[in-house]
Amino acid sequence: MIRLLVVDDSALLRRLMRQIFEAEADFELAFARDGIEALEQLHGFKPDVVTLDLTMPRMDGLECLDRIMVERPSRVVMLSSLTAAGAEETLEAMALGAVDFVLKPAGALSLALAEFAPRVVETVRRAAGARLRASARLAERLRARAASLPPPVPVPRLHAAALAGERGFAESPAEGLVLVGTSTGGPAALDVLLAGLPADFPWPVVIAQHMPATFTGPLARRLDRQCALRVTEVSGPQPLRPGQAYIGRGDADLLVGRRAGGLVALAAPSDPAHRWHPSVDRMVDSALGVLPPAALIGVLMTGMGYDGAAAMGRLHAGGGRTIAEAESSAVVWGMPGALAQSGAASAVLPLPRIAPRLLEWLA
């Protein structure tokens, strides 16, 4: 049984959540009307997952989440509104340790039941299987862990099990791209990855993060404030420059093309042939269409499913380099696990070691 604590000040939404989860056979439910009641339930009910509203009286969702992660770290799914303010608060919640988020229904809750119910059930089930130790205050803890590691250069070659099967590579070409794919747990993981790269990083970093369109702009602005690279959202054609990172607009796909001036990032309508968007597979395949595999490095980090594993497998087979995040640091080892288990990962590394490996390869 999955013990689920629903925290929301709306009686209608609590009633809707009860209706949804009582229809499932493997959930035990408890409810709270605000953050104070949630904290009272935390130790007695001992939930496996908490769904947490952001806007509540007495104690709001962010304050409650902060207390949860101190008092009894738990897998938390935020219930977010599809607004700019809701996106900013949700990203703050992810930094505090929330595992995932789900968008509240727009308009009448009862009318949105058919669409909302399967989405919230899938998200809560996914959260129940997430690694709590990797999600609670992920960015803060992994930054501290990375700071305690030896300097990234020089890094001994072929000395760890994570490097098993890694091939030797020729010197990296001057023109190239780092292609990053991630999903559940991705915002905090991107925070750690990009914070480890200097302002003069020699290749552009192109990122497909599964996320709605309302959230990718705030995510890019948040990361831009927190790292040395310049980070922007790709909503139209943009030239790809060293020292910059580019995040694909949510609910669309991110493609790499070539124009007279050089490489460009393009926003394209989402392709229904791909399940997740922005599609990592489609991004990587587009890059393979304009650059040789040796000029590409694929990085697949935490996320549910398998998006990116097939295209990064093709990149690896052509002589390119790939990194899969290790299971020990991933919130959900779905996407990187699919790459690692296929044998197409040049290296399998915990998150704090990925940026040093990129610096080593491109030194």
Structure tokens at 222: 């948040």
User: Please, which residues have CB within 8 angstroms of residue 51's CB and are 6 or more apart in sequence?
Assistant: 4, 5, 6, 7, 8, 17, 76, 77, 78, 79, 102, 120, 124
Report the DSSP beta bridge partners of residue 319.
Answer: none
**9 part of the active site:** no
**8 part of the active site:** no
**224 part of the active site:** no
Instruction: Please give the Cα distance from 51 to 286 (Å, whole number).
Output: 37
CA atoms within a 13 Å half-sphere pointing along the CA-CB vector of 306: 9
Structure tokens at 343: 């044998």
* Residue of 9, 191, 210, 253 marked catalytic: 210
- For the chain, the C-alpha Rg in angstroms (whole number) is 20
Q: Considering only CA atoms, which of 66, 69, 43 is closest in space to residue 54? A: 66
Report the DSSP beta bridge partners of residue 2.
Answer: 27
Q: Considering only CA atoms, which of 317, 251, 260, 262 is closest in space to residue 284? A: 317
End-to-end CA gap in the chain? 50
* Residue of 80, 81, 135, 183 marked catalytic: 183
* Residue of 74, 307, 329, 346 marked catalytic: 307
Cβ(335)–Cβ(182) below 8 Å: yes
Active site amino acids: 183, 210, 307
